[in-house]
Homo-oligomer: A and B are copies of this chain.
Amino acid sequence: MKALVFHGPGRRSWEDVPDPALKSPDDAVVRVDAVTICGTDLHILKGDVATVDVGRVLGHEAVGTVEEVGSGVRNVAVGDRVLISCITACGRCRYCREARYGQCLGGGGWILGHRIDGTQSERVLVPFADTSTYRLPDQVSDEAALMLADILPTSYEVGVLSGQVAPGDTVTIVGAGPIGLAAVMTVRLFSPAHIVVIDPATARREAAGRLGADVLLDPADDVAGQIGALTDGLGADVAIEAVGIPETFERCVELVRPGGRVANVGVHGAPATLHLETAWIRDLTITTGLVDTYSTATLLRMLAAGQLDVSGLVTHRFGLDEMQDAYDVFSRPGDTGALKVALFGSDRSWENPS
């Protein structure tokens, strides 16, 4: 079969690899029907993620059809259409038992396209299939479900829920890339009074506006002043960091009110400065985290009930064998306007139900 293989920094190819085969009673083999590319994949290709070996098939988000299951798999069966979560969960360790699957100690966590071969492929082996895949209801399309493989639960759990967004809050989201936009979508589930989005790219600010943000600012604007005007001068209730650089994190800390929450979602490569000389007295709560996907089933339920609309995130669509083109488009968002790209297997299209 074909797969996207990492050959070291800057080098990827769509090439023939052996078909996956079951190794353990918990495994499933899934045919990939729809797949996407994550910013993390670009980091890997830059050589930033030392734990990814050369020869690895990338990708940790997909929707597919189960082709084979091990003898211990109970909840999914051959032929089931499933979401493959970016997080694999052993279901047995201390962290899995606390629904903190991202921290799995039993061989799971973020492993697909990282420590084992991933989903940018015609087929993928999914360990711990019962706790790492989700059967899809008919009314949910492949493309919509695909948004729940990573970015929706990431922004919802690590941003919105860790940030304890509540009705009436003023929420600031710093960064309007795919994760920031997914944060706009999921912050709205809690009916904030205001969603303030800060991003230097006009197109991304406009996308945030279409998804429901009501205040759109450039980082060069008087951000603190504008937020102060909405909040009796106090500051935002919650700030969600969705970029991953020190400046944006530090800005989040500045922008929240006493008693506010800063939820870091961005993937950072460098330390930030925490101004404890002013922050110690401000009753702040700062959270970090990898997605656990404990919310995936709930988000699916909302998608099926029509209470969550994830359209507007996918800007470009491809066939699975156009993987290299998709990477080209996704890696140049400034030029292409790409948010998320979606790739579909040959017998699928993005026009499927709903």
Contacts and interface: CB of A to CB of B under 8 A. Distances in A.
A276 B280 contact: no
A67 interface: no
Contacts of A284: 286-289
Interface residues of A, number: 75
Contact of A271 (B188, B267, B277, B299): B277
B131 A307 contact: no
A168 B294 CA distance: 13
A285 interface: yes
Contact of A102 (B74, B279, B283, B299): B283
Interface in A281-311: 281-290, 294, 297-299, 301-302, 304-305, 307-308
Given A74-B92, A274-B271, A276-B268, A288 B297 contact: no
Contact of A103 (B72, B91, B95, B259): B259
Contact of A98 (B99, B246, B308): B99
Given A271-B276, A273-B271, A285-B286, A301 B72 contact: no
A236 to B, nearest CB: 13
* Copies of chain A in the complex: 4
Contact of A75 (B92, B190, B280): B92
B276 A168 contact: no
Interface stretch (A56-64, A191-199, A220-228): A191-199
A327 B272 CA distance: 38
A219 interface: no
Interface string A224-236: 0000000000000
B277 A274 contact: no
A270 interface: yes
A79 to B, nearest CB: 19
A25 B24 CA distance: 10
A91 B94 contact: no
Given A95-B259, A103-B259, A274-B271, A168 B280 contact: no
A167 interface: yes
Given A264-B276, A268-B280, A274-B271, A191 B94 contact: no
Contacts of A276: 246, 249, 264, 268, 270-272, 288
20 contacts: A24-B72, A91-B131, A97-B99, A102-B283, A167-B307, A168-B305, A190-B191, A191-B191, A192-B307, A193-B302, A193-B307, A268-B280, A269-B277, A273-B273, A273-B274, A280-B290, A281-B290, A282-B288, A284-B289, A285-B287
Interface of A: 24-26, 70-72, 74-75, 90-100, 102-103, 106, 130-131, 162, 166-168, 188-194, 244, 246, 249, 258-259, 264, 266-277, 279-290, 294, 297-299, 301-302, 304-305, 307-308
